[in-house]
Amino acid sequence: MNQAFASNFAKSMFLAILGLFILTFIGTRMFTHIDLNLYGYMVGTIVFIGGFFYRFIAWGERPPTKILIKKGMKLLFKKSTPATTVNHLVTYKFIWNRGIYRWLQHVLMGGGTILSCFVTFPLVFGWMYFTMDDNGMYNIIMIGVNVLTVPADGIIANLSYNALNITATMVILGVCMALYRRLKNNQARAEQKFMYDFLPLYLLLFVSITGLVLTFMNVVLHGFGHSVMSLIHQYSVIITLIYLPFGKLAHIPFRPLSIFAKNYREHYSQQSMKECKVCGESFVSVEQSNDVIDVLSINQIDFKQDEGFHLAELCLPCRRKYRIAQFSGAPTHQLKVKEANQNAKG
């Protein structure tokens, strides 16, 4: 299989497009139910997939990432994986510790974006579509199978009509909260860059607003200006999809891999902990410390010290004090440094 392709990127892209083709073939009943109005979104999605695989493979080829993915796959079926998945991908518990404001911001923005993808991609590739019977019943079709029939004026049907309107409203609220924080918080303002930090937010905002304007034109203006706005909205979505793998928004499809990191730290921390060579406190697992040393050696970086220990065998506070000692000439154990960040001990 590997010999049939020029690179891992070519193989991954081929398999992904082949999978999309098969699913679309089945979902559209041999391409008999294709909405050509969504053709542009389909092309944008395929380009996004290519960019995602390019970015993922470039990242995955790095020695630290290879170790994380390899060991993370072995630990994927831990008993704690379902709870970790919920905390990292659904409830955002790790952000809750930073503050309710930032947690709500991420829930609205991240949740709205992910839910809109769950609705949009199946529609684009024909895996899901809707039909209306003469008796006023609304049918939801998934992969060519009628999975649900509900009254056209019922709650479920109305939620289906307005699913993207709801998610767009969530994204707009989340983006506005993020923009407000980044413009008002002094630390955030000092660290922000327009192209990396603000542009993704403006793209999400523009996509969401144009989507809501489309609904307004259809419902209130009875379709006036719909054709022009639909093109504007479609182009904004395509541009965002093409940009997504290469900017800050790439952390959305990469986020599930945080489960690997969490399982890695928890599993090996339960086995044995590494004690700092200076202060004797446990700070990381023995496995993680050894992996860091191995990765550095692969990159031909040697932090072996004359005292007989490796810098990766020191906790962060002692590592800082050791570096100060190298410049000042004072013995490391005599340096009294108060840690400004108490969470940086591990």
Q: Which of 237, 87, 261, 82 is nearest to 167 (CA)?
A: 237
What residues does each domain of the chain span?
2-125+157-258, 272-334
pTM to 2 decimal places:
0.78
Q: Which of 170, 175, 173, 171 is nearest to 197 (CA)?
A: 175
Q: In the chain, what percentage of residues exceed pLDDT 70? A: 94
Of the pLDDT bands very low, low, confident and very high (cuts 50, 70, 90), residue 332 is: low
- 260-310: pLDDT as tens digits: 888 888 888 888 898 888 788 888 898 988 888 888 888 777 777 777 788
What is the structure's pLDDT at 326? 74
Identify the CATH assignment for 2-125+157-258 out of 2.40.50, 1.20.950, 3.40.50, 1.10.1220: 1.20.950
The token pair at 46 is: 């395929």
**List of residues 6+ apart from 104 with CB closer than 8 A:** 174, 177
Distance, in Å, from the CA atom of 242 to the CA atom of 175, rounded to the nearest integer, reads 20
Distance, in Å, from the CA atom of 257 to the CA atom of 71, rounded to the nearest integer, reads 12
What is the structure's pLDDT at 330? 67
- 185-202: pLDDT as tens digits: 777 777 788 888 889 999
Q: Are 142 and 129 in contact (CB under 8 A)?
A: no
Q: Are 278 and 323 in contact (CB under 8 A)?
A: no
Strands 137-142 and 128-132: antiparallel
Q: How far is CA 253 from CA 1, 16, 48, in A?
A: 26, 15, 11
What is the structure's pLDDT at 345? 41
- Indicate whether 344 pLDDT > 50: no
The most confident of 112-116, 246-250, 325-329, by mean pLDDT: 112-116
Question: Coil, strand, or helix at residue 100?
Answer: helix
